[in-house]
Every structure is written in structure tokens, then in C-alpha cells.
């Protein structure tokens, strides 16, 4: 498959055209940003780990019937994905209160929610991805009621699956962000899961120690982001247990064949 011109560059990824108009290549960068782009850095190896972790999660979700944009991983930093029209909403799923909700509502960090809470944010960096109500989605026609009903059902299944997957490897899934896109399948409009699912887009705490294994290590200047992401990848069986953990050899680690595929 031929890599064509750059179509879009985001904060953590670049999208390239391919010779197939329905497919694009998603490249995972090492750039990290937080607080609406106010904090920026480059963390060597982050893109490699997110590519592998996201591939693992999306291919597992595909196996339980959650249609998503992943076609295949090409190499250390690239995946072939289906070209979709992204719904301009960030769907935030919370199992435990942390991050923006605790500041917004004065809730204690780590409060376990009785049921998963789904929040909607408008995907607009210039506005700082503001929280919106479901009614705003219909008022401004960002998505239809039918689409949101489908998305909500998918979100609950994705959340159940991911809670179980992470629980099995000693990790608590605190919250995460999902994006969905529109696609024509056999002439019908479908909504499928898009974007990445990785420690950049989830809060992941060690089940016993509550150690943060996600992008909060960057947001809160906790350091050791690569060892934390590597730990997630190892526990998920993507990297060998005995692999050395350091930013410099992440590139080598990434070529280690998957154990469980």
C-alpha cells in the first residue's frame, strides 16, 4: 500500500492518504500535549507504545463485535485505518471520578461511581473541548438521535470489556475518551469506533497501589511515562515480561512479536 500526501496533523497523530480512497494511514507521533496545548513535550517511544496498545485493544473489541476503524498495523508507528467522517464529539466514560470532573464538581478524587457516567464534549480545541449536554448535540445537529443511541450502546459494551480486560492484568480503568465516525457499509450509513485507545486517552491506575499508568504522569509532572506505558503493554501481553524498560530501547521492544495473537 502506497503512502500518499499528509491529509491532517493532530496533536499526537498524522493522517496520510493511500492509494485506496477509503483507507488512510495513521502515524503515532511522540508528541505529548496537555491542558489544551499549553503544555507540550516530545517523549521518545510514546507513539510506538500507543500504536501497539491501541492495536491490541481495537482488535480485541473487533472480536466482540464492536466495529472500528482499524484495518491492520503496518509497522512500529503506523496503522491502516478506514477513512471516516468523525462525529465532532468526545465521549468521556467515567467509572471513577478523577480529572476534570473532580475540579468541576468538587468531588473527591477516586470516588467510585455507582454506574458508568458518559459525558459529551464538543471536539473543538479553540474552545477547549467544552462539556455539552446531549440536547446540544441534537440542537446543533452534530449527530442524530439514532446515532447517539447506537453510540451509547457501543460505549457500555466497550466499557464492560475494557474494565474486564484491565482488571485481569491488575489495572483499574478510571475513565477514558472515545471518538466515533460515520462510514458507508453496503450502502448503509454506519457509526463505528474511531481514533486510538491508549494510556494517552484513558486513566489507568494499578489495582493495588493506585499508581498512575497513563498520561497523567505527563500532565502532573510525575515522570516515568515510558516505563508506565511499557508496564501497561507488558501486562496486556504485548511486550515480553523480561524486556528492559527505558525510553531508548522502546524502539527495539516494539519489534518483539506479540505473544497472544
**In the complex, least distance from residue 72 CB atom to ligand 5GP, rounded to whole angstroms:** 23
Site string for ligand 5GP, 137-176 (x = CB under 6 A): --------------------------------------xx
Q: Report d(CA 33, CA 53) in Å as an integer.
A: 19
Which helix (H) or strand (E) segment holds residue 151: the answer is helix 145-167
> How many residues form the binding site for ligand 5GP (CB under 6 A)?
14
Span near ligand 5GP by CB under 6 A; candidates 37-45, 57-65, 136-144, 196-204: 196-204
Contact positions with ligand 5GP (CB under 6 A) in 48-107 = 90, 92, 99-101
Residue 172 half-sphere exposure, CB side, CA atoms within 13 Å? 18
Q: Which is nearer to ligand 5GP, 25 or 101 (CB)?
A: 101
Cell of 161: 470489556
Q: Which is nearer to ligand 5GP, 55 or 175 (CB)?
A: 175
Alpha-carbon distances, residue 90 vs 73, 134, 245, 257 (angstroms): 24, 12, 32, 33
**In the complex, least distance from residue 100 CB atom to ligand 5GP, rounded to whole angstroms:** 3
Cell of 210: 493506585
Provide Rg for the chain, Cα atoms: 18
Which of 55, 147, 179, 200: binder of ligand 5GP (CB under 6 A)?
200
Q: Report d(CA 46, CA 251) in Å as an integer.
A: 10
**In the complex, least distance from residue 47 CB atom to ligand 5GP, rounded to whole angstroms:** 13
Contact positions with ligand 5GP (CB under 6 A) in 26-45 = none
SS (H, E, C) 54-118: HHHHHHHHHHCCCCECEEEECCCCEEEEECCEECCEEEEEEEEECCHHHHHHCCCCCEEEEEEEE
Q: Which residue has the cell 472480536?
A: 63
Span near ligand 5GP by CB under 6 A; candidates 144-152, 200-208, 220-228, 251-259: 200-208
Site string for ligand 5GP, 211-240 (x = CB under 6 A): ----x-------------------------
Question: Is 129 an interacting residue with respect to ligand 5GP (CB under 6 A)?
Answer: yes
* Residue ranges in contact with ligand 5GP by CB under 6 A: 90, 92, 99-101, 129, 175-177, 200-203, 215
Amino acid at each position: 500500500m502506497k503512502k500518499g500526501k499528509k491529509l491532517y496533523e493532530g496533536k499526537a497523530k498524522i493522517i496520510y492518504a493511500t492509494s485506496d480512497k477509503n483507507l488512510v494511514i495513521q502515524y503515532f507521533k511522540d508528541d505529548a500535549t496537555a491542558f489544551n496545548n499549553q503544555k507540550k513535550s516530545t517523549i521518545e517511544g510514546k507513539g510506538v507504545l500507543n500504536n501497539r496498545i491501541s492495536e491490541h485493544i481495537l482488535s480485541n473489541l473487533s472480536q466482540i463485535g464492536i466495529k472500528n476503524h482499524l484495518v491492520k498495523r503496518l509497522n512500529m508507528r503506523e496503522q491502516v485505518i478506514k477513512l471516516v467522517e468523525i462525529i465532532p464529539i468526545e465521549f468521556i466514560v467515567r467509572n471513577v471520578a478523577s480529572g476534570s470532573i473532580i475540579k468541576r464538581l468538587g468531588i473527591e478524587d477516586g470516588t467510585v461511581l455507582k454506574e458508568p457516567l458518559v459525558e459529551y464534549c464538543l471536539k473543538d480545541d479553540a474552545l477547549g473541548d467544552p462539556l455539552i449536554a446531549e440536547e446540544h448535540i441534537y440542537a446543533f445537529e452534530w449527530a442524530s438521535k439514532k446515532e447517539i443511541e447506537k453510540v451509547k450502546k457501543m460505549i457500555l459494551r466497550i466499557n464492560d470489556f475494557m474494565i474486564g480486560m484491565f482488571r485481569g492484568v491488575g489495572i483499574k480503568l478510571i475513565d477514558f475518551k472515545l471518538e466515533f465516525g460515520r462510514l458507508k457499509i453496503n450502502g448503509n450509513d454506519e457509526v463505528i469506533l474511531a481514533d486510538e485507545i491508549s494510556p494517552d486517552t484513558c486513566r489507568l491506575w494499578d489495582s493495588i497501589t493506585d499508581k498512575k499508568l497513563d498520561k497523567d504522569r505527563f500532565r502532573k509532572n510525575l515522570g516515568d511515562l515510558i516505563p508506565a506505558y511499557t508496564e501497561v503493554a507488558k501486562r496486556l501481553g504485548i511486550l515480553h515480561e523480561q524486556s528492559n524498560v527505558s525510553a531508548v530501547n522502546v524502539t527495539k521492544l516494539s519489534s518483539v512479536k506479540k505473544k497472544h495473537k
